[in-house]
Structure 1
């Protein structure tokens, strides 16, 4: 244990100046990863619980109770459905209600995706800082070797190159986990978005089946045709 700790300390001491900004970038990326993981895990659980509680109301097609539930709940899935319920006060056309729910989805997605994109940027920054530190270290090494005693040139050059390579190694050590965390969080976000979309489609299908909303053309033209047939029958 002590040997590993001393190796880490010596690695930082021999890594040069660029080791420290890479460490800051790595620490910032870890903080973002942990915060996003906790947030998305909480949102996933909250969405599942909210829709499970909302489903019995949806089967009763009691619009007023559903509206009250969506206003009290803060889960993204109920906010999206709430947009559809609000639109139902204006129109019963499925397409219009679906467009309103899509707008609600666009409002919910930024909260799910925020800061996740920073992880790929931080990974690239860590890699570039490692390369920059290596290049600057090699420039300094060759400059020092140029004026050094010929007997010590090979030893000095090997030590300087070893120090410079530590910067590249640490840059990659920081970048690889950040890219992995970025991919994991993106998949987690996509799973939540897919579950919200599935819940929205289920809401639309159930409401359409119960004739609370109209799929396709509104029934008004049908009424008009019925009136024409009645008038024709009366004339005959």
Structure 2
């Protein structure tokens, strides 16, 4: 490997840096975007069960917000009803939407960097190719060529092109994969909020209409 790096010349070092950063981002995103940390499968059902007859206590809501990203979104709606008993449906939906957008933004962290590496790596490889071609042309002279300089120029051109593609292809694949995961989570947040909105509005209606009765959700 050291021999290949030496043969590829100095243009290979930016590509090596990109490969290290891309690998670190892929590992970090795999760890951070796990389902158990973002949207546990049974979390919404547990929230509906706990709040079937009354709103949960602030301690329970705080634990819900710390449990996962979906928990933060659901807890924001519960806290909104607890803070403003007469809250209406539009205002409650606005709370869910703003919290959901912020959550999705956090899930997209580092994805732009990974996408930039996927786009820039081939260009860096092309830069190495151009530098290698300059070396090749520089090895030629009217009195004869320099075989050593010619071979070095070919090595720079080929190795940098190959390294650029080797880095760009996996980076692009992982970028698309993580982008799809974030989109799936965003849909889950939206669907969970849609189910929780009418459930929470029962308590708002109950407080604004003292004679109303609370019906258990089907």
Shared fold, TM over 0.5: yes
Residue 125 of structure 1 is matched in structure 2 by 120
Q: How does 1:20-99 map to 2 (within 5 A)?
A: 20-41=13-34, 43-44=36-37, 47-58=40-51, 60-65=52-57, 67-73=58-64, 74=66, 75-88=68-81, 89-90=83-84, 91-99=86-94
The answer (yes or no) to whether the contact 1:44–1:192 under 8 Å persists in 2 is no
Give the ranges of 4+ consecutive aligned residues of structure 1 lying more than 6 Å apart after TM superposition.
none
Aligned residues: 203
Superposition deviation, residue 179 in structure 1: 0.5
Residue 96 of structure 2 is matched in structure 1 by 101
Q: How does 1:1-236 map to 2 (within 5 A)?
A: 8-41=1-34, 43-44=36-37, 47-58=40-51, 60-65=52-57, 67-73=58-64, 74=66, 75-88=68-81, 89-90=83-84, 91-146=86-141, 149=144, 157=150, 160-208=153-201, 211-213=202-204
Structure 1 residues 71 and 143, CA, compared in 2 at 3 Å: closer, same or farther?
same
* Equivalent-residue separation in structure 2 for 1:133 and 1:45 (angstroms): 41
The answer (yes or no) to whether the contact 1:22–1:129 under 8 Å persists in 2 is yes
* Equivalent-residue separation in structure 2 for 1:120 and 1:53 (angstroms): 37
Between Structure 1 and Structure 2, which shows a larger proportion of helix residues?
Answer: 1
The answer (yes or no) to whether the contact 1:33–1:116 under 8 Å persists in 2 is no
* Equivalent-residue separation in structure 1 for 2:143 and 2:49 (angstroms): 82
Superposition deviation, residue 181 in structure 1: 0.7
SS of aligned partner of 2:33: helix
Taking only aligned residues, the RMSD between alpha carbons, in angstroms, comes to 2.6
Structure 1 residues 212 and 148, CA, compared in 2 at 3 Å: closer, same or farther?
farther
* Equivalent-residue separation in structure 2 for 1:174 and 1:28 (angstroms): 11
Structure 1 residues 123 and 115, CA, compared in 2 at 3 Å: closer, same or farther?
same
* Equivalent-residue separation in structure 2 for 1:34 and 1:96 (angstroms): 38
* Equivalent-residue separation in structure 1 for 2:142 and 2:10 (angstroms): 22
* Equivalent-residue separation in structure 2 for 1:147 and 1:61 (angstroms): 93
* Equivalent-residue separation in structure 2 for 1:56 and 1:178 (angstroms): 42
* Equivalent-residue separation in structure 2 for 1:13 and 1:94 (angstroms): 65
Structure 2 unaligned regions, length at least 5: 210-218
